[in-house]
Amino acid sequence: MGIFLVENKNFSLAQTLDCGQAFRWREDENGAWCGIVGKSRVRLYEADGAVFIEGADEKSVNCFWHSYFDLDRDYGALIKKCAADPILMRAAEYGSGIRILKQEPWEALCSFIISQNNNIPRIKGIIDRLCTVFGEDIGGGFYSFPTAERLALLEAEDLSDIRAGFRAKYIIDAARRVSSGEIDLEALKAQDADTARQTLMKIKGVGPKVADCALLYGLGHIEAFPKDVWIKRATNELFGGTFPQCALDFAGIAQQYIFYYIRGL
DNA sequence: AGCCAGGGTCTGC
DNA sequence: GCAGACCATGGC
């Protein structure tokens, strides 16, 4: 039996876990969502107007998982702010169950290095193989996301079975800079987004878009605003070339509504 | 078959 | 500073 996590107001597992911000969650045949975070494999489901979690103890639910799902933030209030722009309001209502996950910084950074010039199904495949080959066996045939320390010991050729293509050398460069301490991801949480972005962009293969994804999904900077091809398209075709100004202080969250909305059109 | 994908680097102007 | 070729791979 699962442990109560939260009421599912402004929280849809399907929207949150399959909106392109994380790549290791999968819906099972019963409509529950299974994923591996850290060294835990958990299963989440919605029932009776609430979200429940299996595979986690009471203490981790109240701390880690509460933070992971960003449960202290009032998404309803943000959606109301979106109403200042009629198109953004439509997008926010369409994706009103999305929450921005607070993922592990290294996993977020590495995942979005892999994401560049790539499509979501293949991103998931590459990450699956990366975890299976280089992650830690956490039992049951499941594997954790490999640490930067582990990957830093490899050469790009060692990733050939992962089929990450030209991104392999970028993964290794990122792993080495993080594991050596040259880039302290935890410290970037407390810095302003622009400073942190510049640091992240010292990594080969990390430009503004990947850096913003790491900032938003791994480092808690909700004002970071990844501009991928879909968002550029939406900004031009839906907003006349200018991102809605009413959402600037939570642009990352608004961006996720727009990304989900335009891909669903 | 060919275009595209949650882009970035490198080169040449 | 900015455009254009190029990068690996596979989904559609």
pLDDT digits (tens, 9 = 90+) for A156-178: 999 999 999 999 999 999 999 99
- Is residue A216 helix, strand or coil? helix
Answer whether any strand B atom is within 7 A of the Cβ of A147.
no
Cα angle A128, A197, A38 (rounded to 5 degrees) comes to: 30
Integer Cα distance of A16 and A10 in angstroms:
10
pTM above 0.95, yes or no: yes
Answer whether any strand B atom is within 7 A of the Cβ of A228.
yes
Please name which of A123, A122, A13 lies closest in space to residue A68, comparing C-alpha atoms. Answer: A13
Query: In this predicted structure, what is the pLDDT of residue A56?
Result: 98
- Is residue A47 helix, strand or coil? strand
Answer whether any strand B atom is within 7 A of the Cβ of A207.
yes
Cα angle A29, A120, A111 (rounded to 5 degrees) comes to: 105
Integer Cα distance of A156 and A34 in angstroms:
30
Integer Cα distance of A6 and A51 in angstroms:
5
Which residues of chain A, if any, have pLDDT below 70? none
CA-CA-CA-CA torsion sign (A250, A255, A258, A259): negative
Q: Which nucleotides of B are covered by protein (CB under 7 A)?
A: 4-10
Query: In this predicted structure, what is the pLDDT of residue A52?
Result: 98
Query: In this predicted structure, what is the pLDDT of residue A27?
Result: 97
| Contact (Cβ atoms closer than 8 angstroms) between residue A205 and residue A174 | yes
Answer whether any strand B atom is within 7 A of the Cβ of A166.
yes
Cα angle A174, A175, A177 (rounded to 5 degrees) comes to: 65
Residue nearest to nucleotide C8 (CA to C1'): A165
